[in-house]
Amino acid sequence: MKQFSNTIFNKEILDKEHEKSFLLDFSNDMTAVRSREDLAIVVNKALRKLNPDGGYVIRKINEDGATMSAYLYNTGASAFDPALLEQVLAEKYPINDGLQNRILDSAVPLLFNVRIELQRGYNLSYLDLWENMGFKTMVGIALRNGNTNIGLLWLSIDEINIPILQGICSQIAIAMGNIMANEDIFRRQAEQELMLGFSSDITGVKTKSDLEIVTSKTLERLFNTRISVLYLLDTDQVTLRPYLYDRQFFQETEVAENEAFYSLNINEEHVKLVFESSQPVLLDIDENLEAKCLKLSIQRELSGFNRVYASALRLGEQKLGMVWMLGDQVSGPILQGICAQISTAVSNVLANEQILRLQKQLEDENHYLKQQLNKDFEEIVGGGEAMQQVYRLISLVAESNATVLLLGETGTGKELIAKAVHHTSARKDKLMIKVNCAAMPASLIESELFGHERGAFTGAVERRIGKFELANNSTLFLDEVGEMPMETQVKLLRVLQEKEMERVGGKTTIKLNVRIIAATNRDLEAEVKAGRFRSDLYYRLNVFPINLPPLRDRREDIESLAGFFLAKFSKSIGKKTVKLSANALRQLQAYLWPGNVRELEHLIERSVILATDPMIREFFLPQATGATTDEHTMQSDLTLEQVERMHIIQVLRRCGGKISGIGGAAEILGIPGNTIHSKMRKLGITKAEYFAN
C-alpha cells in the first residue's frame, strides 16, 4: 500500500515537474513575442505539445464589447470545408451566444461535447465547423488580463490539465493585451498619417472631381466603407441631392448608379436626427430606416453592411449637406474632423464653380463688347477727300506699334479713329482701354493710370489695377491728354520712356507693352509754349500725328453723315427712317458746326425723336444758319479756342446755365459736365456772360 502510494506520489511529483518545465519553456518563448505572428508560433508550439493533432481558435472581444472575432487559429491535422472555415473566421459572434458567455463567467476551463451542444439546438456555425473537422470535445478558457476579459481560447482536446491551461492562458492574455495596444498605436499612427495626407490633399481641391478623388480614397481607407455618398442641400433648403459617390464602385457591379441613390428630405426623421446632432449618427438600416425603400436595400446588398454612418456638413451655422456611409470600423471623432474639412472644400468647390460661371459670362460679354467695338469701326462715315487722307494714315500706322496723336476739334471723331487704329492693329483681340484725362481730378489721375496698392493713401482700402496695367499687350487711349496736370505728365513721360511702372505706393516694377494713342482738341504746340504742357512729353506723343478736319471743312460728308444718323436713330426708336427735305439739308450744309459730328449727331437724334412726320423740313439751329449773321461771318476769322468759347457760352445761355442732367449743356455738347467745367475755367467763361441776356 505504501509502495502504491509512493508510486502515486512519485507520479504526481513527475507531473508537477513536467508542468513546471512546460510552463517555464512557454514563458521563455513568450518573452520574445512582439507581434500577433510571434504569438501564433509560440502558442502553436505549446498547444501541439498538449494535443499534437488538435486545433484551436483564440477569439478577442471586439471594440463594441458585444461580439467576438477570431484573433488566432490553427486547424490542426483535421480536414475541413474551406468555405465554412472562411465564414466562421469572418463572422462576429455575440458574446452572449449561450456558450461563450459561460466560459467568460467561469473561473475554470469548461469542457463541451460538440455533438451534444448541436443537439441542444445551438445554431452556431463554429459548432458546425468543429463537427465538420471531427473535433469531439472542446475546452473553453477565458483569457483575462487582471480582472478584464479580453477573449477566450477554444481548444480541441480530450484530457485537460487545468493548471497548465490556466498558466498558458494568463500569459496569452497578457501578450494579447500588449500586442493589441501596440496594434492600436500603429492603427492610430496610420490614421494620423492618412488624416495629414487628407488635410494636405483637400486644401488643393478646386473641382468636384478633385473632391471625389480625395474623399472616396480617404473614406474607404480610413473606415473600410463600401458606399459613401455626399449629399448637398438644394437651394430649396429641403431636398438633399446626391452630389458625389464613388463611381468606380459601380463599374464593378451590374447595378446602375441611379438604381442605388435617391434624394433625401430634410424633414425625414433620420435626416433631422443627423442635423440635430453635433456628432456623426449611426443608423441601422433594419431598425432606423425604412428598409422597404428599394434603393436602400440595394445599397445594403451591394455593400454587405447594414449600418449607415451619417454626419452633417456645415459651414458655421449654415447647413451644406451630409456624408452618408455604409461601412464598419468608423471612428466618430475622425469622421467628424473629416466632415469639417469636406465642408470647407465643398464650399470652395461651389464658389469656384460660380467663379467659372461668372468668368464664362464675362468672356461672353467681352466677346459681345468687342463685336460692338468692331461695329463702331465699320461705322465711320465720310468718303470725302479729307477723310480719305485720314484713312490712308490709319492704314499706314495701324500695324506698327507707333504712338499716334489725334488732333482735332471736339466731336470730330478722334475716339472713333483711335478705335479704328486699334482694330486694324495686331492687338485687336484685346480691349482698347480708355482714360479721359480731363474727366478726373488731378489727385486721382495717377492712381487711375498706374493703380495703387492697398493703404497707399487715405481711402485706398483695396489694391487697384491701373489703366496702364489693364492695357498691357493692348492699346491705351489717352483722351484729352492736353488737360493732364503737369505732375502726372512727368510720370507719364517716364512710363513711355522706360516701358515700366510701379503702382502708387508699390515697390514692384511692372514691365509694360502698351501702345499709346493720345488725343486732344488743344493746340499742343501752343500749350508747350505757354508752359502748360511738357515739351519732352509732346515730342514723345507726336510720333505720328493725324489731324481730323472739322466738319465745316468737309461739308461733302454732311449728307452721308446725316443720312447715317437718321437711319440709326429712326431704327433705335422703332420709326420708319425719317428723311430730310432739300431745304433741311441746305441748312445743315450752311451751318458752321462748332460741335462737329457730335453736334450733328445730337441734332439729328433730337429731331428724329420730335419728328411728327416722316420728313424733316426744317432744323432749329442755335442761330440763323449760313454765313449771314454777324457772329458767323466773324467766325471764319476766329481761332479755334474763340469758337469753342463762344459756342459754350451760347449753349449755356440756351440751357439757362444748367450744365448736367437732361437738357443741360453737357447733354447738348455731348461731353461730360467735368470737361465743361474745366473748359470754362480754361477759357475764362464767367456766369455774367451766359446770364447776360
Ligand X SMILES: Nc1ncnc2c1ncn2[C@@H]1O[C@H](COP(=O)(O)OP(=O)(O)OP(=O)(O)O)[C@@H](O)[C@H]1O
Residues that bind ligand X (CB under 6 A): 379-382, 408, 410-416, 479, 519, 521, 597-598, 601, 671
Grid cell digits, residue 155: 481548444
User: In the complex with ligand X, which residue's Cβ is closer, 80 or 391?
Assistant: 391
Grid cell digits, residue 170: 494568463
User: In the complex with ligand X, which residue's Cβ is closer, 565 or 690?
Assistant: 565
Distance CA 143, CA 59 (A): 9
Nearest to residue 258, comparing CAs of 234, 229, 285, 233? 229
User: In the complex with ligand X, which residue's Cβ is closer, 391 or 544?
Assistant: 391
Classify burial at 499, counting beta carbons within 10 Å of its beta carbon; exposed 0-12, middle 13-18, buried 19 or more: exposed
Residue 417 Cβ vs ligand X, minimum distance, rounded to whole Å:
7
Sequence-distant (6+) residues with CB within 8 A of 624 are 632
Distance CA 292, CA 93 (A): 27
Taking CB positions, which residue lies at the least distance from ligand X? 413
Residue 557 Cβ vs ligand X, minimum distance, rounded to whole Å:
7
Residue 411 Cβ vs ligand X, minimum distance, rounded to whole Å:
5
Residue 520 Cβ vs ligand X, minimum distance, rounded to whole Å:
8
Residue 555 Cβ vs ligand X, minimum distance, rounded to whole Å:
14
CB of 235 closer than 8 Å to CB of 253: no
In the chain, the amino acid numbered 167 is: G
User: In the complex with ligand X, which residue's Cβ is closer, 68 or 394?
Assistant: 394
List Cα–Cα distances, 502 to 133, 434, 450, 537, in angstroms.
87, 19, 7, 19
Grid cell digits, residue 513: 507693352
User: In the complex with ligand X, which residue's Cβ is closer, 244 or 406?
Assistant: 406
Categorise residue 195: left if φ over 0, alpha if ψ from -120 to 50, beta otherwise.
Answer: alpha
Distance CA 211, CA 248 (A): 14
DSSP string, 515-530: EEEEEESS-HHHHHHT
Output the CA torsion sign for 385, 386, 391, 396.
positive
Residue 678 Cβ vs ligand X, minimum distance, rounded to whole Å:
12
Residue 426 Cβ vs ligand X, minimum distance, rounded to whole Å:
23
Grid cell digits, residue 193: 498619417
Residue 413 Cβ vs ligand X, minimum distance, rounded to whole Å:
3
Query: Hey, how many other C-beta atoms are within 10 angstroms of the C-beta on 274?
Result: 26
Distance CA 342, CA 339 (A): 5
User: In the complex with ligand X, which residue's Cβ is closer, 375 or 576?
Assistant: 375
User: In the complex with ligand X, which residue's Cβ is closer, 39 or 438?
Assistant: 438
User: In the complex with ligand X, which residue's Cβ is closer, 246 or 601?
Assistant: 601
User: In the complex with ligand X, which residue's Cβ is closer, 380 or 543?
Assistant: 380
Residue 412 Cβ vs ligand X, minimum distance, rounded to whole Å:
4
